[in-house]
Structure 1
């Protein structure tokens, strides 16, 4: 029986390699049929905004990686509703479920065997 894995991505896409590393872990887990979920929290919700101009800050665009998640069987996508609201971000991905409360996030974390925060 494979263990489930939740990745919590807390970094903005332009703040360094953390956002890309989180996506790489999620994609690798999906490639090996590991049950994987991805939670965007804090500044990580900025990854969900359309119109990223990664080259302006000398970063690679992660939009293609986000769009590829369903092809790797990654369908458990979540965003912290408070983080979205606090930063004025609209999640442009209809597959991302917004979690309204800290209790919802805690329940999500409890569903997974392993949790990695990046």
Structure 2
């Protein structure tokens, strides 16, 4: 049986390659039907903000990768409610907002956790 994997994305989409790498790991896992989840925390929640201009900061646009999550069977997408509130963002409908306590419980549910 496959071990479950939770990827925690904590970096803004424009702060370097970590945001893209987190999405690549999740999409690759989904392609192999691994039980996988994705959690956006801290500045990683900026990846979910609408109307980003990736070219302005010379970064790759991650919106297509985010939209592909469902196509790869990635339904367990979560977002830290506190991180969204502190940054003045509203959780998108495609991500389940979680409290800090719920995040601790979520992490405990997975066999392996990768933080980027």
Name 1:61's counterpart in structure 2.
61
RMSD, matched Cα: 0.6
Aligned residue for 1:106?
104
Q: Deviations over 1:95-116 (max 9, x none)?
A: 200002x210000000000000
Shift of 1:91: 2.7
Partners of 1:5 and 1:114 within 8 A in 2: yes
Q: Distance in 1 between matches of 2:56 and 2:39?
A: 26
Query: Is the CA contact 1:99–1:105 (under 8 Å) kept in the aligned structure 2?
Result: yes
Does the 8 Å CA contact 2:81/2:91 hold for their aligned counterparts? no
Task: Work out the number of aligned pairs and report it.
Answer: 116
| Contact 1:6/1:39 (<8 A) preserved | yes
Q: Which residues of structure 1 form unaligned runs of 5+?
A: none
Q: Which residue of 1 aligns with 2:94?
A: 95
Indicate conservation of the 8 Å contact 1:48/1:90, yes or no: no
Q: Which residue of 1 aligns with 2:80?
A: 80
Gaps of 5+ in 2: none
Consecutive aligned runs of 4 or more in structure 1 exceeding 3 Å deviation: none
TM-score, length of structure 2 as denominator length: 0.98
TM-score by length of 1: 0.96
Does the residue aligned with 1:11 lie in a helix, a strand or coil? coil
SS in 2 for 1:66: helix
CA distance in 2, matches of 1:54, 1:80: 23
